[in-house]
Amino acid sequence: MTTHHPTALTSAGAAAIVGRLRTTFRAGHTKPLDWRRKQLGRLREFLVENGDAIAEALHADLRKSRAEVDTMEIGGTVREIDGLLEHLDGWLEPQHVPVPAHLPRGTSARTEYEPLGVTLVISAWNYPVNLLLVPVAGALAAGNAVVIKPAEQAAATSALLAELLPRYLDRDATAVVVGGAEETTLLLAERFDHIFYTGNGTVGRAVMAAATTHLTPVTLELGGKSPVFVDRDLDIDVVAERLVLTKFTNAGQTCVAPDYILTDPDTAAALEASLTGALLKRFGEDPKASDLYGRIVNERHFDRLTSFLGSGRTVTGGQTDRADRYIAPTVLADVTPEEPVMGEEIFGPVLPIVTVADLDEAIAFINDRDRPLALYAFTDSATTRRRLAAETSSGGLGFGWPMLQLAVSTLPFGGVGESGMGHYRGRFSVETFSHRKGILDVPLT
Ligand code: NAD
C-alpha cells in the first residue's frame, strides 16, 4: 500500500492507483481466506500497537477523551475485526438451497459469496478511525482490494492513518488517499466495484451520481434527525442520565446521537430539571474543563451550531468560545418545529425538547419528516414499543438506551430513505462487499 498526498493526486494518479489494485485483484491475490484473515489481523495490530498515537491524534482533532477513544474508536473496531475473524469461515460456506422436484435427479443448487473487486471507502470525520476501518475490514474480509479515503476534516487522524496503515496492510491491494472534495472527485471518476460512503446527503448524491457512470453499487451511510420519544411516568433521572451519556458524547457529533426529544408537557418539565442535574453530574460546573467533553470539529460547524442557540428557551448551557471551538452542552425547551434547530440535523451538543400531546401526535410528527437514521424511545409499554416499530420507519430502532445498538454487530447498521441505503457490520459487511452468486449443478447423466 502506498500513501498519496493531496498535492500529488492527479487524474492519472488516481487511475494508476485503481489500476494497480485491479491487477492485484485480477491475479486472485485477495481471494484466499488466509490472505483475508492476515489483513484483518494486521489491521487489528495497527489498532492495538498504536493506541497512544491514535488517541493523541483524536485529541488534537476533536478533543476526544482516552476512554472514548478506547471504547468507540479502537475497541469498537477491534471487536468488529474479532467478530469477522471468528465467523468469517462459516459465513463464507456455500449455502445449499432446495431445487424443484421436476429438475433432473441429482441436481443441486447453492449460493456462494464472491468478492466484488476494487472498492472505495470514504469516511466521515466524527469517528474517523471507526467509520473508516470498520467498512475497510468488511471489504477485506470479503476478499476485495480497497482504496481508503480518510476524512480530511480530522486532519491529525487522517495524517496518522496515511502514515501508518501502509506499514500494516498489503500494499498491492490497498491504498490510502488523503485529501478532500477535489481528491475524492478524482477518485470517483474511476471505475470501482463498490463505493461505501459515510457523510452527508448532499455529498452522498454526488457519490451516487459519479457511480452511475460505471454502474457501481453504492452504500450510503448518511444522517438525519434521530428523535427520542419519552413516555409518561418513567424514572426520569435514568432517562436523563442515558440521554446525557449518549447525546453529548463527542460533543454531539455522532450520526446516531439523539437529535431532539418528543414528549408530553409534564414529562418535558421534569426532564428539564433531570437533564440539568445529569449534565452537572457528568461534566461538572464547567464542562469546558472536563476531560470528557469534546470540541466542535471546525469553525464552519461551530458557526452552524451557534445559529441554533436562539431557538426556544435555554434550560442549561448556551455558552460558546469560538477560539476553542467550544459549545457548552445545551438543552432547549419550548422548541417549535419552525425554528432553525428543527430545520436540519443538529450534529452537535444542542438538545431541543419538543412537546406533543400523546403517542399518536409523536408518531405523526416522526412520519411527517425524513426517515431518520435512528429512532429511540423510553417507555414501559409493550403496546407503545409495538406501535413505534410498526407505524414508523427509521434505519434502526432502539428502546431504553440510545446508541447502544452500535455495540451489537449482529444487527445491521444503516439508514433508509434520506438517512441512506445499504447496511454493514459483521455478516452484513460481508454481504455488502460481496456478490452472492447462484450456482446450479445438473448431472450430465
Ligand atoms: P463530509 O461529507 O463533509 O465528509 C465526508 C467525506 O466526503 C470526506 O471523506 C470528504 O473528503 C468527502 N467529500 C466531501 N465533499 C465531497 C465532494 N464534493 N465530493 C466527493 N467527496 C467529498 O462529512 P459531513 O457532512 O461533515 O459529515 C456529517 C454527516 O455525516 C452527518 O449528516 C452525519 O449524520 C453523517 N454521518 C453518518 C454516519 C453513518 O454511519 N450513517 C456516520 C457519521 C456521520
Q: Is the CB of 149 under 6 A from ligand 1?
A: yes
Q: Which residues pair with 229 in a beta bridge?
A: 262, 377
Given a contact cutoff of 8 angstroms between Cβ atoms, the answer to whether 239 and 230 are in contact is yes
Pick the CATH number of 227-407 from 3.30.420.40, 3.40.640.10, 3.40.309.10, 3.40.50.10320: 3.40.309.10
Ligand 1 atom 1 nearest Cα? 199
Paired sense of beta strands 95-97 and 108-115, if any: antiparallel
For residues 381 and 392, give the distance between their C-alpha atoms in angstroms, rounded to a whole number.
Answer: 16
Tell me the pLDDT tens digit for each residue of 194-241.
Answer: 999 999 999 999 999 999 999 999 999 999 999 999 999 999 999 999
* pTM (two decimals): 0.96
Q: Report whether pLDDT(41) > 80.
A: yes
Ligand 1 atom nearest the C-alpha of 126 is 43
Given a contact cutoff of 8 angstroms between Cβ atoms, the answer to whether 325 and 355 are in contact is no
Q: Is the CB of 195 under 6 A from ligand 1?
A: no
Q: What was the pLDDT predicted at 6? A: 47
Q: Is the CB of 196 under 6 A from ligand 1?
A: no
Closest to 72 measured CA to CA, from 222, 237, 246, 221 = 246
Tell me the pLDDT tens digit for each residue of 105-154.
Answer: 999 999 999 999 999 999 999 999 999 999 999 999 999 999 999 999 99
Angle made by CA atoms 435, 441, 444, in degrees to the nearest 5: 150
Pick the CATH number of 11-222+415-441 from 3.40.50.2300, 3.40.190.10, 3.40.605.10, 3.40.50.740: 3.40.605.10
Pocket test for ligand 1, best of 182, 222, 409 (most atoms within 8 A of CB): 222
For residues 38 and 190, give the distance between their C-alpha atoms in angstroms, rounded to a whole number.
Answer: 28
Q: Is the CB of 200 under 6 A from ligand 1?
A: yes
Closest to 295 measured CA to CA, from 250, 329, 260 = 250
For residues 210 and 187, give the distance between their C-alpha atoms in angstroms, rounded to a whole number.
Answer: 10
Q: Is the CB of 199 under 6 A from ligand 1?
A: yes
| Count of other CB atoms within 10 angstroms of residue 184 | 22
288-300: b or e for each residue (b if 16 or more CB lie within 10 Å)? eeeebbbbbbeee
Tell me the pLDDT tens digit for each residue of 386-409.
Answer: 999 999 999 999 999 999 999 999
Paired sense of beta strands 218-221 and 420-421, if any: antiparallel
Tell me the pLDDT tens digit for each residue of 247-258.
Answer: 999 999 999 999
Q: Is the CB of 298 under 6 A from ligand 1?
A: no
Q: What was the pLDDT predicted at 395? A: 98
Q: What was the pLDDT predicted at 7? A: 54
Q: Is the CB of 39 under 6 A from ligand 1?
A: no
Q: What was the pLDDT predicted at 394? A: 98
Q: By percentage, how much of the chain surpasses pLDDT 90? A: 98
Q: Report whether pLDDT(3) > 90.
A: no
pLDDT-based confidence at 374, cuts 50/70/90? very high
Tell me the pLDDT tens digit for each residue of 260-297.
Answer: 999 999 999 999 999 999 999 999 999 999 999 999 99
Ligand 1 atom nearest the C-alpha of 123 is 9
Q: Mean pLDDT throughout 298-310?
A: 97
Q: What was the pLDDT predicted at 445? A: 87
Q: What was the pLDDT predicted at 333? A: 98
Phi, psi values for residue 392, rounded to 5°? -130, 165
Pocket test for ligand 1, best of 73, 123, 198 (most atoms within 8 A of CB): 198
Indicate the SS3 state at residue 95.
Answer: strand
Q: Mean pLDDT throughout 427-440?
A: 98
Tell me the pLDDT tens digit for each residue of 145-198.
Answer: 999 999 999 999 999 999 999 999 999 999 999 999 999 999 999 999 999 999
Cα torsion angle, 336, 337, 339, 341, sign: positive
Q: Report whether pLDDT(363) > 90.
A: yes
C-alpha cell at 288: 469546558
Distance (Å) from CA 120 to ligand 1 centroid:
14
Ligand 1 atom 9 nearest Cα? 151
Question: Does 227-407 match 11-222+415-441 at the fold level?
Answer: no
| Residue ranges covered by each domain of the chain | 11-222+415-441, 227-407
Q: Is the CB of 384 under 6 A from ligand 1?
A: no
Q: Mean pLDDT throughout 51-76?
A: 97
Q: Where are the beta strands (DSSP E) in 323-388?
A: 326-327, 330-333, 350-355, 374-378
For residues 243 and 232, give the distance between their C-alpha atoms in angstroms, rounded to a whole number.
Answer: 16
Pocket test for ligand 1, best of 184, 221, 411, 413 (most atoms within 8 A of CB): 184
| Count of other CB atoms within 10 angstroms of residue 226 | 27
Closest to 68 measured CA to CA, from 327, 276, 241, 245 = 245
Residues carrying an active site annotation: 221, 255
Given a contact cutoff of 8 angstroms between Cβ atoms, the answer to whether 426 and 137 are in contact is no
Q: Report whether pLDDT(351) > 60.
A: yes
